[in-house]
Amino acid sequence: MLSLASPRPIRPTLSPATIVRIWSLFTATLCFGILGVGLYLNPSPDGFGKRQGLFGGPPCGWYQMTGYPCPTCGCTTAVSHFAHGHILTSFLTQPFGFTVALVALIAGCLSLVGIFTGKWIGPAMFTLQWYWRLWVFGGVGILVFGWVYKIMMVRLAGG
């Protein structure tokens, strides 16, 4: 008897190594893209204002309205310093921006290993999921610390 039901579509299956390579390529592109933009830019001497030079936009509205830097003020400059090899200056410019650049470098290097070997040697997804509170609250804590630090530096400089 001839069946009129359509056959089940054949789905190509990807090997685990191929999945790791694809994910690693995505991660490496993102991480080295961040560092590449930082390398392309010249770090701002005053520690912030890169958004204007990068995107041609107006000065930070938050800073103009309040007189205080926004939570991410100086992050692009910190990443730019990091990409140029000025590690201490990067940290002193904006600790959160420094952390972003450092994580991008580490994750990018781990991703390169994943691209070439097909094996992930970084933290397992289970580990990242298990400690998600540490990652989220730690990241927010570093962001707040960097913001308070940046406010203090701008106020001490008379900005």
Q: What is the pLDDT of residues 15-46, one digit of tens each?
A: 889 999 999 999 999 999 999 999 998 887 77
Check pLDDT > 60 for residue 159: no
Maximum distance among all alpha carbons in the chain?
A: 88
Check pLDDT > 90 for residue 139: yes
Q: How many helices (H) and strands (E) does the chain have?
A: 8, 0
Mean pLDDT for the chain overall: 86
Residue 113 token pair:
């290993």
Residue 52 has a pLDDT of 59
- Rounded to two decimals, the pTM is 0.82
- The 3-state DSSP class for residue 73 equals coil
- The 3-state DSSP class for residue 79 equals helix
Instruction: Identify each DSSP E strand in the chain by its residue range.
Output: none
Q: What is the pLDDT of residues 47-64, one digit of tens each?
A: 666 555 566 667 778 888
